[in-house]
Amino acid sequence: MQALECKFGNLTLKNSWVMSAKELGFLDANEWAAFYLERAKFGVSGIVFPVSEVQKQEPSVVKQCLRGLDELQCISFLQIQLGVLDLQAKLEFALEMGFLGVVLEISSQIEAKDISLLQEVFATYNQKCSIFIGVSDLNDKNYELITSIKGEIHGVCILNCPEENDLEELIQCKKNLSISMMIMMGNIKMESIEKCLQNQEFDAILTWKPLVCDTKFVDKLERDMPPIPCQECGVCTLELPVTCPYHPEVGSEYFETQRRKIATRKEVCIYGNGISAGYAAKKALERGFPTTICKTKDLETFVPQSDALHQYQIALYDELDALGVKFEEIEGGLSGFLRERKPYFTLFFQKNQEDSLVMETMFDLLDERLSCAKFLEGQTKTEIEESLVDVYQFFKQFYLA
């Protein structure tokens, strides 16, 4: 399907597909941001965020996410209630956070007597951001209100899912109002949506599930490839964090994004201060990775029982220092290190490290390292190096693949 641009005020949507954002239940704000950035990367031209979702996130991450969307030519809208008294404050909040548009949902408190005030405020802000009026349907009251203020706004957004047989009426209303319109895709069949877009009946389609189901939904439509169809199983509306059985990566975008960065940045960060950590750092450096060794304040320095190993350890760390390995001290133990989620890392666990419990799923894999730790004492330098190389290769494969 050919992508058509649509213009709302000073803003241009690169195609007609806008994502309606929902409660995701992700554990942290970075995952939240990664979820939307991923969809924007594959073609979504706008995202409508409900204010309740935005307020749950850290403002700095929201701003960072919106900047990222901007770079991906994806326009961010904030969906807020249209109130009379605090309208200006709400618009200021949207601008302060970096939203390029707002969808102001009409509440029942708005009366005909408020119209001149709305016109005045919209006239002040409609050059700064794109203003949409959000309505559940176009009943007489809403229709009348939109008719009165349409000179100061950029479009109407139908927030409730219309049915197939509502389409004709909506098309007629849009023609009568002569205004841009976004409609919720809801239960409308894909063929009908495509037909409406081809005939330019609507300017944008708001949707959620098809984009959960298939990150590349828009990209595939534009390349005439079949997207993964939504099965309407409802799992994504029942479970938090959001998951979809037809797109198992849903909810893990943050981790996936980090793994991709690992593959491209080729930097290694190693946790620990023992021989294995030092040796892994040496190998990482030899392979051309900028390398950092991290340790926490509470991580006791690993001192091998054998003098020979201890001497080897001292010499190894001196060598690393001379080779330019960076050393960092971090807060919060190994779990702090994991939480910080460096976009690149290689981990080395110690047998008595309680923190290693946070990575329970990796325990099978860690056995190799644990047996290696037991194996170290009394081995020759070559044997140690050989076993450490194996461990390093294993982690390299896991994190840098």
Provide the minimum distance between the beta carbon of 111 and ligand SF4 in the complex, in angstroms, as a whole number: 39
Q: Is residue 231 within the footprint of ligand SF4 (CB under 6 A)?
A: yes
Provide the minimum distance between the beta carbon of 215 and ligand SF4 in the complex, in angstroms, as a whole number: 11
* Residues 278 and 271: beta-carbon distance below 8 Å: no
Distance CA(215)–CA(158), nearest Å, equals 24
Nearer to ligand SF4, 107 or 237 (CB): 237
| Site for ligand SF4, residues 190 to 219, rule: CB under 6 A | 209, 212-213
Number of Cβ within 10 Å of residue 233's Cβ equals 13
Tell me the site size for ligand SF4, rule CB under 6 A: 12
Kindly list the distances between the CA atom of residue 20 and the CA atoms of 163, 206, 240, in Å, as whole numbers in the listed order. Answer: 18, 6, 17
| Site for ligand SF4, residues 270 to 309, rule: CB under 6 A | none
Choose which of 140, 226, 234, 397 interacts with ligand SF4 (CB under 6 A). Answer: 234
Short-list 171, 400, 210, CA closest to 218: 210
Distance CA(400)–CA(289), nearest Å, equals 11
Q: Which of 274-277's residues contact partners 24+ apart within 8 Å by CB, and which partners?
A: 274/302, 274/313, 274/348, 274/350, 275/302, 275/304, 275/309, 275/312, 275/313, 275/316, 275/376, 275/384, 275/388, 276/348, 276/369, 276/372, 276/373, 276/376, 276/388, 276/391, 277/348
Nearer to ligand SF4, 193 or 384 (CB): 193
| Site for ligand SF4, residues 348 to 387, rule: CB under 6 A | none
Nearer to ligand SF4, 116 or 231 (CB): 231
Provide the minimum distance between the beta carbon of 37 and ligand SF4 in the complex, in angstroms, as a whole number: 19
Nearer to ligand SF4, 234 or 324 (CB): 234
Q: Is residue 232 within the footprint of ligand SF4 (CB under 6 A)?
A: yes
Kindly list the distances between the CA atom of residue 295 and the CA atoms of 254, 277, 321, 329, in Å, as whole numbers in the listed order. Answer: 24, 10, 15, 5
The residue range among 107-115, 231-239, 345-353, 366-374 that interacts with ligand SF4, by the rule CB under 6 A, is 231-239
Structure tokens at 79: 């969906």
Choose which of 91, 244, 309, 334 interacts with ligand SF4 (CB under 6 A). Answer: 244
* Residues 39 and 7: beta-carbon distance below 8 Å: no
Provide the minimum distance between the beta carbon of 212 and ligand SF4 in the complex, in angstroms, as a whole number: 4
Distance CA(116)–CA(122), nearest Å, equals 10
Provide the minimum distance between the beta carbon of 247 and ligand SF4 in the complex, in angstroms, as a whole number: 6
Structure tokens at 101: 């548009």
Q: Is residue 227 within the footprint of ligand SF4 (CB under 6 A)?
A: no
DSSP per position, 364-376: HHHHHHHHHHHH-
Angular region, 79: left φ>0, alpha ψ -120 to 50, beta rest: beta
Choose which of 18, 236, 309, 347 interacts with ligand SF4 (CB under 6 A). Answer: 236
Choose which of 54, 65, 230, 316 interacts with ligand SF4 (CB under 6 A). Answer: 230
Q: Is residue 235 within the footprint of ligand SF4 (CB under 6 A)?
A: yes
Structure tokens at 146: 């939109």
* Residues 131 and 153: beta-carbon distance below 8 Å: yes
Provide the minimum distance between the beta carbon of 240 and ligand SF4 in the complex, in angstroms, as a whole number: 12
Provide the minimum distance between the beta carbon of 245 and ligand SF4 in the complex, in angstroms, as a whole number: 6
Choose which of 42, 93, 143, 246 interacts with ligand SF4 (CB under 6 A). Answer: 246
Nearer to ligand SF4, 247 or 283 (CB): 247
Interaction site with ligand SF4 (CB under 6 A): 209, 212-213, 230-236, 244, 246
